[in-house]
Structure 1
Amino acid sequence: MAGSIRRHWKRWLIAGVAAVAVLCTAGPYVYINYVQDKPPAALSLDDPPRSDSSGSSPGSGQGVEGAWKVGSGSQAGYRVDEVLFGQNVTAVGRTEKVTGELEIEGNRAVSGSFTVDLASVKSDSDQRDGQFRGRVMNTERYPEATFELTEPVDFGSAPPVGEQVSAKATGELTVHGETNTVSFELDAQRTADGFRVNGSIPVTFADYGIEAPDFGGIAVEDDGNIEFLLAFDRA
């Protein structure tokens, strides 16, 4: 009798462990693939401007030379791949708190920079945001990320309103108190009263003294991207 009870108990124990294993595997899969919203698409010049255009058209007499500043409708943030309990997900956080300036001579941007308020970056998860502001980025000590051009950007020509041109940008990126030289492709598009600039800067976290998070069933890849879409108005 006692042996029979022990055998039944073992079977129930094995079944219970198997059920927990299935739930641990299937739960995140169901949540990620059927419940959680898809991550937003990468920032792109195909996105419509987020501010009204009421000025005169640069294509009808107003040139692009001179001083410009980052205006409303600008966004910046991060895109990074995570592994959540064995399931691959893409985490995206963004903010509209972006400032900056640009100086154009002829068809070249000869100087410029932009700054992102990291403490205001938000994703679709309050828990992720808390980790980002705290143990990952320590925004109390390092509240901003900045990029500054160190070489002119040559766009070749000023396109008509609505059209795009591409160029390569080189400058210094400062994140988490560390500065590195970076180069990346960017696109520019003229609007009725200014222009927009879009790009993605690859970032390897170790280069900036950032330890990729790995805790509680969540692991983050060793690199990611800083995305930006900047709308420029006359300074």
Structure 2
Amino acid sequence: MTKKWWIVGAIVVVLVALGVTVGPWAYGKFIAESDAPAATVSTSGAQAATTDNIDGTWTIVPGDEANTTAAGYTVDEVLNGAEVTVVGSTTDVSGEVTIENDTVTAGEVLVTTDSITTDNDRRDGQFRGNIFETATYPTATFAFDSPVDLSSIPDDGTTTTVTAEGTLTLKDQSRPVSVEMEVLQSGDTLIASGSIPTTWADFGIEPPSLGFVTVEDSGSVDFLISLNSE
């Protein structure tokens, strides 16, 4: 425990001893913390490309200790008077992408919604039940609608940014979206990440307002996928 938190603890003890309620300001100042941002492409440890031909079918590798695949959401909320950013994620992601002449011609990313978690079990219970109804809507998807030119991907382990037009489906509600994707070819693996700005009501999702917590009307759907060629 750092000296700072010893001091904070002493302040709280004194307030309690004096019968003072530790209210929302104190909660927001000393206790509530925002989550780390959603994972994105990293060039740390990246290797030069092992091939200059990326045509073929590429399959998403589910996340584990060996790769970085993950997807989920980011949203701001006010919790007990404190503004915090919440990031929910899962490594249970699947799908595939078809590339022809260095161009994505088709592809879909599927996310298992009931496996999305944050650092709070109560929040996750609300997400699975009242908010997303994961028993009824077990997957969320993003499908490519237009060709995406990947010919600009460097072969030296650095990244490029491309724009993808597609359809995002949440709770069986589908909407056209545009997403800036950062793409890396490292060795024989393609890695891509993106963040899709999302207004929850567009997908029939009602952000909760429960008195002690209020969730913003918009946020983002985030993904980081690793793909291997078949």
Shared fold, TM over 0.5: yes
The amino acid that maps onto 2:130 is: R
Q: Structure 1 residues 219 and 64, CA, compared in 2 at 3 Å: closer, same or farther?
A: same
Instruction: Tell me if the contact between 2:55 and 2:98 (Cα under 8 Å) persists in the aligned partners.
Output: yes
Note the alpha carbon deviations across 1:26-76, whole angstroms, 9 max, x for none.
4522xxx43455411232212757xxx9xxx88344511111000143100
1:222 CA drift (Å): 0.3
Matched position secondary structure for 1:129: helix
CA distance in 2, matches of 1:165, 1:105: 18
Q: 2:59 matched to which residue of 1?
A: 69
The amino acid that maps onto 1:44 is: T
Q: Structure 1 residues 23 and 35, CA, compared in 2 at 3 Å: closer, same or farther?
A: closer
* Structure of larger gyration radius: 1
Is residue 115 from structure 1 mapped to residue 110 from structure 2 by the alignment?
Answer: yes
CA distance in 2, matches of 1:118, 1:142: 8
CA distance in 2, matches of 1:81, 1:36: 12
Q: 1:42 matched to which residue of 2?
A: 38
Is residue 200 from structure 1 mapped to residue 195 from structure 2 by the alignment?
Answer: yes
Give the TM-score, by structure 2 length. Answer: 0.83
CA distance in 2, matches of 1:37, 1:26: 13
Is residue 24 from structure 1 mapped to residue 19 from structure 2 by the alignment?
Answer: no
Matched position secondary structure for 1:59: coil
Matched position secondary structure for 2:49: helix
Instruction: Tell me if the contact between 2:49 and 2:186 (Cα under 8 Å) persists in the aligned partners.
Output: no
Instruction: Tell me if the contact between 1:189 and 1:197 (Cα under 8 Å) persists in the aligned partners.
Output: yes
Structure 1 stretches lacking a partner, 5+ long: 1-18
1:85 CA drift (Å): 2.2
1:167 CA drift (Å): 0.9
Matched position secondary structure for 1:104: strand
Residues 6-155 of structure 1 mapped to structure 2, 5 A cutoff: 22-29=21-28, 33-36=29-32, 38-46=34-42, 48=44, 59-61=49-51, 63-72=53-62, 73=67, 74-155=69-150
Identity %: 35
RMSD between superposed Cα atoms in Å? 2.3
1:157 CA drift (Å): 2.5
Instruction: Tell me if the contact between 1:201 and 1:227 (Cα under 8 Å) persists in the aligned partners.
Output: yes
CA distance in 1, matches of 2:60, 2:104: 14
CA distance in 1, matches of 2:50, 2:229: 16
Give the TM-score, by structure 1 length. Answer: 0.82
Instruction: Tell me if the contact between 1:107 and 1:158 (Cα under 8 Å) persists in the aligned partners.
Output: no
Instruction: Tell me if the contact between 1:107 and 1:154 (Cα under 8 Å) persists in the aligned partners.
Output: yes
CA distance in 2, matches of 1:37, 1:24: 16
Q: Which moved more, 1:106-115 or 1:36-45?
A: 36-45
Of 207, 212, 233, the residue aligned with 2:207 is: 212
CA distance in 2, matches of 1:47, 1:143: 32
Instruction: Tell me if the contact between 1:146 and 1:174 (Cα under 8 Å) persists in the aligned partners.
Output: yes
Q: Structure 1 residues 233 and 177, CA, compared in 2 at 3 Å: closer, same or farther?
A: same
Structure 2 stretches lacking a partner, 5+ long: 1-18
Total equivalences in the alignment = 209
